[in-house]
């Protein structure tokens, strides 16, 4: 049985724009790496449809690289996205990460949920911190998108 943990943020942008930030490579590359890590746009494969592949490379400040892989499981624009995601592409990715977008007054509530799996409490805390960093950079990217 799945044991999900979640992170939510209220964003001051319309739901369709938040969905674009999650699914369009030119926006995804900005927030997925956060401000500290580069995700080269040419490293992204985002076939955003059920069964479509996801691939990305993170270039860390220390010179290391993380290879990400996954598959889109559910795509229901602009309300829901579910995708598997792993930094070990040779192993099973596990249950999908869920991204739910709810319309609220003044914007969108984005909730990202992930199965705990075999994560330790420390790994869950680190993942939550990572998702909060993603949310920070999604907010920054949405502000840029709304000015464009």
pLDDT, one tens digit per residue, over 67-76 is 999 999 999 9
DSSP E strands, 34-121: 45-46, 53-59, 65-76, 80-83, 97-104, 107-115
**Where are the chain's structural domains?**
4-147
Assigned architecture for domain 4-147: 2-Layer Sandwich (3.30)
Q: How far, in Å, CA of 75 to CA of 77, rounded?
A: 6
What per-residue confidence (pLDDT) applies to 105?
97
**Whole-prediction pTM:** 0.93
Task: Report the chain's terminal Cα–Cα distance, integer Å.
Answer: 44
- Dihedral sign for Cα 13, 18, 24, 26, please: positive
For 91-127, write each residue's pLDDT tens digit.
Answer: 888 889 999 999 999 999 999 999 998 899 999 999 9
Cα 8 to chain centroid, rounded: 12
Q: What integer best gives the mean pLDDT of the chain? A: 94
Task: Label residue 148 by pLDDT band (50, 70, 90).
Answer: confident
What per-residue confidence (pLDDT) applies to 33?
80
């Amino acid at each position: 049985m799945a044991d999900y943990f979640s992170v939510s943020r209220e964003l001051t942008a319309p739901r369709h724009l938040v969905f674009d930030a999650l699914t369009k490579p030119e926006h995804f590359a900005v927030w997925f790496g956060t401000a500290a890590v580069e995700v080269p746009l040419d490293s992204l494969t985002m076939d955003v449809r059920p069964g479509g592949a996801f691939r990305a490379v993170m270039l860390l400040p220390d010179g290391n690289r993380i290879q990400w892989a996954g598959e889109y499981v559910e795509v229901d624009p602009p309300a829901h996205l579910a995708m598997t995601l792993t930094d070990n592409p040779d192993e099973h990715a596990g249950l999908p990460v869920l991204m739910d977008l709810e319309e609220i007054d003044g914007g969108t509530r984005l909730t990202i949920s992930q199965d705990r799996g075999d994560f330790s409490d420390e790994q869950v805390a680190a993942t939550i911190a990572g998702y909060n960093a993603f949310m920070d950079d999604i907010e920054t990217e949405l502000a840029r998108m709304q000015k464009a």
